[in-house]
Chains A and B, each alone.
Chain A
Amino acid sequence: MKAHTLVIGAGIAGLQAALDLAEQGRQVVLVEKNPSIGGRMISLSKVYPTLDCASCITTPRMASVAHHPLIHTLTYTEVLGVAKNEDGTFRAHLRKKPRYIEEDKCIGCKRCEEVCPVYIRDDFEHQLGAKKAISIPFTNAIPQFPVLEPQSCTWCGACANACPVDCIDFTQESRDLFVEVDAVLLATGFQLTPIDAKAQYGGGKLRNVISSLQGERLLAPHGPYGRVLRPSDGKVPDSIAFVQCAGSRDASLGVPYCSRVCCMYAIKQAMLLSGSLPTADITIYYMDIRAFGKGYEAFYQNAKAMGINFVKAKVGRIREIEDGNLALRIERQEGTAQPEEAQHDLVILSLGLTPQWNPGQLAWEVKTASDGFVATPGAPLDPAATTQDGVFACGTATGPKDIVDSIMEAGNAATEVGKRLEIRAPMVPGGAS
């Protein structure tokens, strides 16, 4: 397969860059390792500072990409290698993982999912909910193909019997593909710092200590419970705490930097919680509130006016007391000097952002910086360039960033890729090249 550009990662940055390039008449192969495009953004509840429903504003982008004649999307596909050819093009080795269904036959009717007897934990819900061993990854996934998880499947054959188009294929194997392109764009995104990285917070052990992305799912309109309940006993929480910098600005975790989005997502989640649980007490324990973007400070001030409690304090330890409730050892940085204990019945850890993918694992010249994210030696004026000519990066692949800044960088990366293509594959009038 040949194209102008390979975009790796179909989160909001990759989607935007692919669209920008395609709108300029360039052919894009967009590769995504997950079964659906949409990245982290499609799993969020609402986004700050507009409080737009994330599904509502991400889905159109996903659909535009999926339907664009110049974008070829490969989901559930890994990048095994990228090699530079002598003529300056790149040859990418991709591996399409088996869904165990024939995609050209599947109509997305969900009959297989309905009859499957095996429930497994749902990764999209960050383990808060369950799904079937064969299922479509989430409601608005693109494409609407189910994925069968072979390690959980009992091979009972119920799905194959129920499928009206006979598309289940238990013997399907992965398939290797090769793509030749003039440029590569990394939009490989982020992951959260591990929830159990700070043992003293009990993350991963205490059931009512959850991650910020779990918090997003609790608040999503079509989330695991359909409403805000705490995981241990399904109780509606009435005292909720956010612990800021639970995975950032902490050299002991290897994350000395600020993760840039946690202040704002915590404030947003706090506002949404206070909307759905008007009588609940909500406290944010923080070091500095970094509401730096357009409209963010007003958002923060609104949250304060809504009665959300902002406490400048360090949280030392979290332990479980009776009924799954939690006691937080806090050291206030203003007010009193004495450490004290605060009780809450749900704690959300504002975990930090680390790179999702290390490009260093491939045999090429793309390097990462000391923070682990893709190095951008051209910054400040050329923030999309990497250490390898012809390879560009944008979004959270180059450091923590919110959606708007990721979109901005995606557009810039599309420009830088476009400039390279202008030289290597000039556009001829009429659009084709």
Chain B
Amino acid sequence: MSGAMDEAKVGVYVCHCGGNISDVVDVKAVAAELGKHPQVAISKEFAFMCSDAGQKLVIEDIKSGKINRVVVAACSPALHELTFRKALQRADLNPYLYEHVNIREQVSWVHKGDHDAATRKATSLTRAGVEKILRQDRLESIHVGAAKRVLIVGGGPAGLKAALDSAARGLKVTLVEKSGRLGGHLHEFDTVYPGGQSASELLGKLLSAVSANPAITVVLGAEVKTWDGFVGNFKAVLSTGDAVNAGAVIMATGYRHTAPSAGEYRFGKDDRVITLPALIEQMKAAPRGPLTRGGRAVRSVAFIHCVGSRQIEGVHAPQEDGKVNDYCSRVCCTAALHTINALKERQSDLAIYDLYRDIRTYGRGHEAIYEQASKNGVLFFRFTEEAQPEIRESSVVVKDVLTWNQEVELPADLVVLVTGVKPGEVAELTAMMKLPTGSDRFLQEAHPKLRPVEVANNGFFLAGACQAPMDLVESAAAAGAAASKVAAVLSKDFITLDPYVARVDAEKCTGCEACLPECAYTGALFMNGSKKAEVNAALCKGCGACVAVCEPRALDLAGWSLDQMEAMVDAMASEVAP
């Protein structure tokens, strides 16, 4: 190691982040201070290190032989560590001889009030980064083979489209559906907004394409029972006993309708009060003629929006897990208005009242549906979350903010609660697969803006309403996007993984086995024939739990070794107590 350290020449680059950092941290001072380190050959600051020009600086300094290790002090490594590793690669330097120091999230954004202290902290963190990279080996990424099969969990429209898209790219597909039939919620609808296509025709198209495709294996009435493996080589056993070996997984576990809480708007107590899905079901069952309720013709209907959505703590009863659904369910406004227009078409004299908080007809063709409802004579009333409509004997009373909070009593033979959506029941599955969920209980994407169909866990992708409420167009797009990512992962002959895994110094290992019970990943750590600990690099997640209990220090993490950690701590501590 010391030999490597002698020849190490570190380049330090401090980023302004266009003011994000330099408005608080004196970046010139940081660069100047680091320049004094005996093994720092170059120390610079620059407006945007991540820009092409910034990367060029690094590449040119490497190529000219001035430096052979790089530290960039900038934003979070989550954003740009990979950017710079690739830059090193382009300069023919081992990409792991790179350390990314976060002086934005950890310094400038949190120490706005004290520029001097922020500058000192940035200097200290960057110095620790230099000490770490001085002790870094030339690591090589790990290559694993990939099974050219994708496992899709959920057979609704998103799962079906993802299956067809993946199969069309030459992959084998196993599509697992919990219920006894494919199609999911598409079975519920008569027509779909905004185009008004027949849901059964759309479903028919998907189903015949799936059944005609020999690359797709459908397993109905089945769930994933056991789960093991890693990207490229996941192993699942289904409740049917089928074993699946898949290179990647698409979650398409969909949504459930929320149910009104007990007594909410007299639901369950008054049989005039039903939900939107129940109305749609009734309309589909009796597609013509006037609407009836309990054998009597319905002459007036009141729709109440945001039931089970945009809930407010203290106003609404919590869900089973004690939390309210504070999110907007996205699809219900347009779904309700689409249904209202269908009602009006079959029964033009039906009086319809629409009680809403905001009408969210945001999508392409949605506003026209809203317009049509207005033209159809639907009357709109706006209520606030604090003053909810009240259900009376044969009417609904709403405090209408559009007419200056007048209390309006509306006759209602039928009250339709426009319920929202919540994620499918997947708690057991996600716990087994160790998938993250958000505070809204939907599956959590890797980045809500830039990586909506990817999950932080390698090899998992999201399609449709398991990630967030989505309509059919959006679910189809999400499914296609997930299939695109899977095609990228599995189109290569092998999958590349980071080398940050545990490694064993067999000389030092005493075979005490203290590490084995600490490892949470089946097969990642085991005792080999010569009674020494051994690591399966493809299965190891680099958590370091084994390293912590290894007394002879035989175990270490590549890229995060104990030597490196100690040097970093020393570098920072030396300033506190010189």
Q: Which residue in chain A gives the minimum CB-CB distance to B334?
A: A292
CB-defined contacts of B168 to chain A, threshold 8 Å: 418-419, 422
Interface size class of B (residues with CB under 8 A): 35 or more
CB-defined contacts of A55 to chain B, threshold 8 Å: 18, 48
Select which of B192, B326, B404, B481 is within 8 A of A410 by beta carbon.
Answer: B481
Name the interface residues of A325-378: CB closer than 8 Å to any CB of B: 333-337, 371, 373
CB-defined contacts of B492 to chain A, threshold 8 Å: 25, 431
User: A334 contacts B477, CB within 8 Å?
Assistant: no
Complex alpha-carbon distance, A64 and B52, angstroms: 10
CB-defined contacts of B366 to chain A, threshold 8 Å: 257-258
User: B477 contacts A408, CB within 8 Å?
Assistant: yes
How far, in Å, is A314 (CB) from chain B's closest CB?
12
Supposing A408-B453, A427-B170, A427-B491 touch, asked if A53 and B364 sit within 8 A by C-beta, the answer is: no
Supposing A47-B449, A258-B361, A422-B170 touch, asked if A383 and B477 sit within 8 A by C-beta, the answer is: yes
Q: Binary interface profile of B, 28-65, with partner A (CB < 8 Å = 1, else 0)?
A: 00000000000000000001101111010000000000
User: B326 contacts A290, CB within 8 Å?
Assistant: no
CB-defined contacts of B362 to chain A, threshold 8 Å: 258, 260, 290, 292
Q: Does B413 have its Cβ within 8 Å of any Cβ on chain A?
A: no
Q: Does A56 have its Cβ within 8 Å of any Cβ on chain B?
A: yes
CB-defined contacts of A399 to chain B, threshold 8 Å: 363-364
User: A407 contacts B481, CB within 8 Å?
Assistant: yes
Q: Does B482 have its Cβ within 8 Å of any Cβ on chain A?
A: yes
How far, in Å, is B343 (CB) from chain A's closest CB?
22
A: number of interface residues (CB 8 Å)? 83
How far, in Å, is B328 (CB) from chain A's closest CB?
4
Complex alpha-carbon distance, A23 and B50, angstroms: 21
CB-defined contacts of A34 to chain B, threshold 8 Å: none
CB-defined contacts of B382 to chain A, threshold 8 Å: 312, 334
User: B450 contacts A57, CB within 8 Å?
Assistant: yes
CB-defined contacts of B20 to chain A, threshold 8 Å: 53, 56, 221
CB-defined contacts of B449 to chain A, threshold 8 Å: 47, 50, 52, 57, 403-404, 407
How far, in Å, is A112 (CB) from chain B's closest CB?
15
User: A431 contacts B165, CB within 8 Å?
Assistant: no
CB-defined contacts of A62 to chain B, threshold 8 Å: 52
User: B484 contacts A144, CB within 8 Å?
Assistant: no
CB-defined contacts of B47 to chain A, threshold 8 Å: 139, 222
User: B50 contacts A59, CB within 8 Å?
Assistant: yes
Supposing A139-B47, A411-B481, A430-B493 touch, asked if A335 and B404 sit within 8 A by C-beta, the answer is: yes
Q: Does B17 have its Cβ within 8 Å of any Cβ on chain A?
A: yes
Complex alpha-carbon distance, A373 and B485, angstroms: 27
Q: Which residue in chain B gives the minimum CB-CB distance to A413?
A: B480
Select which of A226, A258, A380, A416 is within 8 A of B472 by beta carbon.
Answer: A380
Q: Does B533 have its Cβ within 8 Å of any Cβ on chain A?
A: no
Name the interface residues of B153-210: CB closer than 8 Å to any CB of A: 157, 161, 165, 168-170, 192, 195, 197, 202, 205-206
Other 11 A-B pairs with CB < 8 A, given A333-B401, A334-B382, A418-B169: A24-B488, A52-B449, A57-B449, A258-B362, A258-B367, A290-B358, A290-B360, A380-B192, A380-B197, A403-B449, A412-B481
A-B contact pairs, 19 of them (CB 8 A): A23-B488, A50-B448, A56-B80, A59-B83, A140-B50, A257-B366, A294-B448, A297-B326, A334-B405, A335-B404, A373-B364, A379-B195, A379-B473, A381-B472, A383-B477, A404-B449, A410-B481, A414-B480, A418-B168
